[in-house]
Amino acid sequence: MEFYFSTFFAFILIFVRVLSFLSASPILGHSVVPFQLKFWLSIFLSYIFLLIVDVENLNLSAELLGFIILVLKEVMIGLILGFSAWGIFYAVQFAGHLIGFDIGFSASTAFDPEHSEPIPTLSQFKHYLSLAIFLMLNGHHFLIQVIKLSFDIVPISSFSVNVGLVNFGVKLITFVFASAVKISAPALIALFLTDLSIGILSRAFPQMNIFMFAFSFKVIVGIIALILMMPFFVFVFKNLLFEFEKDLLELLKVIGA
């Protein structure tokens, strides 16, 4: 009887970590995905993980307060991994902000149901394009692999906050900003050269009101740059994604330290 109770408690802890991860991770973490789908998928994955994860040597507390603390630890692990997995997509959205602001599209917004706030249209376009590329590269398989590896590297009830976790948060923020600059660099350079050309023309021909058509010209240049840089965006996003996957594996080691 004690074996069945310990197995059931282990299943609950596995389920809590998986559900927290899926609720905060890309694709399934989107608000338009029904919670029922996340719940039953978490049940299915938790049952599979229960069969392959070592749960015999777990030190599970029989007290209610101790068990609640273990549940909170598993929730923290799932949420940390899930929100960290969004890093590459935050970089893409930020790149869209930079390009849209320079072109003049910052006023063009659309309601984003995921964040419940208006977001520039260009940022949303790049965000959903990156999600499509992510699925084409089997990124969802990698997410399942991450949550499986988390039970190997960070066993149940072994989570603790450490300095390495804080350092990884700083590294993640740096990665987001650096990746956003890499993704938006071609378009920003093209727009900078456009501004420079307009400034030179306005100084060379002061009798002409260059700024009357400068905005329209920048929009045309920006759209052409976005079209031409599409293969570059796919290439850069693919490389950044592989780099980011290594960072997530490093995060697992940091949590398990």
pLDDT in tens, 189-247: 888 888 788 777 777 777 667 666 777 777 788 788 888 888 888 888 888 888 888 88
Per-residue buried b or exposed e for 151-185, using 16+ beta carbons within 10 Å of the residue's own CB = bebbbbbebeeeeeeeebeeebeebbeebbebbbb
How many beta carbons lie within 10 A of that of residue 25, not counting itself? 24
Cα–Cα distance for residue pair 5/18, rounded to 1 Å? 20
Cα–Cα distance for residue pair 75/82, rounded to 1 Å? 10
pLDDT of residue 56: 65
Cα–Cα distance for residue pair 9/171, rounded to 1 Å? 35
pLDDT tens series, the chain, 257 aa = 455 667 778 888 888 989 988 888 888 877 777 888 888 988 998 888 888 876 666 666 556 777 788 888 888 888 888 888 888 888 888 888 888 777 776 655 555 555 555 566 777 788 888 888 888 888 888 888 888 888 888 777 777 777 777 888 888 888 888 888 888 888 888 888 887 887 777 777 776 676 667 777 777 887 888 888 888 888 888 888 888 888 888 887 777 66
Structure tokens at 43: 């049940």
pLDDT of residue 69: 82
Distance of alpha carbon 32 from the chain centroid: 16
